[in-house]
A = this chain, B = another copy of it.
C-alpha cells in the first residue's frame, strides 16, 4: 500500500468530513480563496467555471463529488444513496467533455457502486470515500513517478516552453509537464521556463507563472504569439505540455494553442513532448478526429480578465482544446517512462 499522505500543506484539493476544499483557480494569482463544497452540484459548477481545472485535478474533484452526492442524499436507505451517487456520476460526467481522467475517475466510482449489494448506507459511503481517496493517492503517486521519468529529457540549464498549466494545481502535488520542470529545479538542474500566457483564460500567466514563482523556478512570461519568435532566436531546447486526452495512436488533445506551438517546434527542430499519465489515454479513441472538443462561451474571448476587449456582439470561435497529431510528438512522458513513436505500439506496452 502507498504511504503517500493524503493531505500536505499547500495542497489545492482535499476532502474532510463531507466537505471538498478547492483552491479557486479563477481568482489566482490575485487572491487565494479556498472553496468549501458540500454538494455534487457545487462540484459540477466548480468544474464548469474552471474553479478547478487540469485533467487530473478535475478527476479527483469529480471522485469526491460523487461522495458528496451520496452523503447529501441524506438517507439511511442504501438504494436511495446509490441512486444519488449514480446521478452525481452522470451530472459530473456531463460537466466537461474532453478530459479523459474525469471519466477514468468516475468509472472507478461507478465500479464501487456495482459491488457490495448488501452494504449499509454507512458502508457504501465509506467505500465511496475510500475509492475517492484512492483516486487522489493514485494520482499523486502516478505524478511522482511521471516527473521522475521526465528527468531524462531535461538537461542542466535546459530552456523549455510550456503552454497552459500542468503543475500541481492541475494535477495534484507533483503536476505533469510543469511538474517535470519543477522536479528538475529541485534536482539543481536550473531549468528556465518560457510560459505561454494561454488565452483566453490565461492559465499560463495566472497559474503556471504563480506556481513557478513560488517554487523558485526561473521563468519568463510571454504571449502565445511570441513562442515562435523565442524558438527562432534559438532560446528554447524543448517544448513540453500536458494533455487532456490521448488517442490510441498518440494524437493528443490539450489546451487550445498547443497545436500551433507543436508546429512551430517542428519547424525549428525543437522536440515537442507531452507529459500525461496513462489515465489520460483513451484506448477506445483511435485518433484525434474522434476526440470531442469542448466549445466554450464566446465571452471568454470578447472579455479579458473581466474587461471588454472586442465589440460586444463579435462572432467568436472558442474551442477549449486542439489536437496535436502524433507525428509532431517526440515523446510522451508517463508514469512508466518516456514513450516514443510509434505510439500505437508504445501506448499498448505499459
Residues of A within 8 A of B (CB): 29-30, 163, 194, 196-200, 202, 205-206, 209-210, 213, 218-230, 232, 256-261, 263-264, 266-267, 301-302, 304-311, 314-319, 322-323
Contacts and interface: CB of A to CB of B under 8 A. Distances in A.
Interface majority SS (helix, strand, loop, mixed), chain A:
mixed
B256 A317 contact: no
Contacts of A264: 260, 263-264
A27 B297 CA distance: 24
A312 to B, nearest CB: 8
Contacts of A198: 225
B311 A226 contact: no
A317 B220 contact: yes
In the A-B complex, the 10 residue pairs with the closest CB atoms: A225-B257, A228-B260, A305-B307, A205-B310, A304-B304, A199-B223, A229-B322, A224-B225, A221-B314, A263-B267
Nearest to A163: B225
Most buried by B among A257, A261, A266: A257
B227 A260 contact: yes
Nearest to A305: B307
A311 B213 contact: yes
A344 to B, nearest CB: 21
A252 to B, nearest CB: 14
21 contacts: A29-B311, A194-B317, A202-B310, A205-B309, A221-B302, A221-B310, A221-B317, A222-B317, A223-B256, A226-B257, A226-B322, A228-B259, A229-B259, A229-B322, A263-B267, A267-B267, A304-B304, A304-B305, A304-B307, A304-B309, A305-B308
A311 B223 contact: no
A327 B209 CA distance: 35
A67 B319 CA distance: 49
B222 A316 contact: yes
Given A223-B224, A224-B224, A263-B264, A197 B309 contact: yes
Given A223-B256, A257-B223, A310-B29, A228 B304 contact: no
